Structure 1
């Protein structure tokens, strides 16, 4: 199957002329010729948000389209979310650095669909080369007549901004991203209202992940039936899987949505590093349920993973081989969540730090017999106690490791 997002023909960096010469503008042309068809086309294609939640894209776009303009907030906004700060996830920085125009074009298609006049390319400031790349790519669009045509289609000029995030993991949450774009600290806020109703400066705001916008570009260019035909089984389209850990060929793999875990690891990933046995995989990054060797034939799509009690998330797959401690990996990831809590919710700030301290103590060989019961209690107390999903992610990976690899804990505690 030909890659869609990572094809060599579109790896042109900030060169807009090269992107258009390679046929990259086809999706935007179709959107301009028939704006009313954009959202129905995304619905027919079955596109879902590819930043983690998997929410149907057409529903989010339709919600923003139904909102009136907010003159006080600048009209309507689009945030292209490329904060990407979770361990094991590196797809968005690839798309933005190698193929920025398919992402920007997807955001412009979104602008036509929802009548948004301001686009914020929201990126992690630690990726300094990427920020420079996006400034160059945005400048190319400002100088091209296509941008004026998009403005004509919605009845007002369209602005494209590069908006560096706080560089914090929590800044990727949608309400935190809104707060960051307006210059505030990225504190997540309670919902409702959702950004679709009240986002940047109080204006309706469409917020999607980088990969989602890139897919929208190609769906509009080639059609819903084409896109659906790329997936395996009941899955649709392609997916960027960030493969890392104990594999021979870690890296970014664009494959049909629904590719099996076995095919990803042992086919495209070249198998296990140093001939280790396959032990487990953190699916969708470190905030989801662990899968083991008995799950190798699961299809890597939203519904199949949910049926196994896990989630696709961002598509990050962190592979763990035999000989690597799940307790150690869990301690590392919970420490990451603890360090990245914004501190707004006491249950999150205190709870994640408490879990992290207990895990570090057990892993260091100084655990107490009561630690296991304490961790199990925290897996029941913490979920749902914060304004965002950070504390839920920490509790989920902890609960999964306790359930699936509880023997490692008991051995470390000499129980």
Structure 2
């Protein structure tokens, strides 16, 4: 077995692959050109896509050459999903998202050296093809009975599926063939939900060009209860800090369940097998120390947002509950904290009682007054004793932010508009 595949298997990163022995031999033969694609169906990639980005990084570090595809064409169509038809976004919107996602993707691979990465956009070749050429050159190789048998298509037949989404598999398969013809790409990777698309590309190259290529899929990550990883009560965890603040991103990984944290470390961290096994033992021996969770949150946030942003997010987490100095946090970091605790905007100076109500920490002004009287109300980690205290600019962090706490653990915020 190839050493790279061995490591990927240990990390739980191989759900499916075409002929494993043949793939191992292919990787052993020398640097392999591989590709992974990202459709701009939103303005950012998310933690699910991060699995593929880090897989590409691992393969590049093993000496192979990545081709990172952003789907300016396939993003206009959208892969079929079980919930129903996707919204058709305009060409201008999708192409704007292409630029944003390209900038995100570029951060995870190197564009220097003998196996430098290459960025490609499938709009470049798809937009040049006529409908007749597409039907004759690509569509001719796809038996409809096989397309109908695909899981997501079969489940959508009763509720309805448009020809547009039905034909998505042809476009993705054509991408693989184009990259094989133009650049000699011989391996495509993706999530296990893309396995049908990956193998369709392999089959198209075999049928039309008599070529032999490979595909490999990673498993979809889940939480301990089987629900999808990367989803929170507030929605998807994005890599764009304007959609998911660095503080919220850090907290998401810091809150990983004991039952799953080692699985996540294997996927998202570049620590060695020995380091991860030591953290696994620490989780068994002293789970309350949450060493594995801190390692996970540190490693992933460093990779996505950089060490400085991670350190600021970690400092904010400490300061929020009185174990650090809120005054030392930047306005940028506080913005992320306020968004995460769903801080309320207030106009002008308000009393501490009104602020506690606005922040949702109490149900009424009477309850707010009782919290102050009982010594359980805090403004920027300082106990408040006067219910008439006015939150003037000099009492606010950066002249705008008030971090409020009721008791030890219930945190909220208000920000002056």
TM over 0.5: no
**TM-score, scaled relative to structure 1:** 0.28
Greater C-alpha radius of gyration: 2
Higher relative contact order (CA 8 A, sep 6+): 1
**TM-score, scaled relative to structure 2:** 0.28
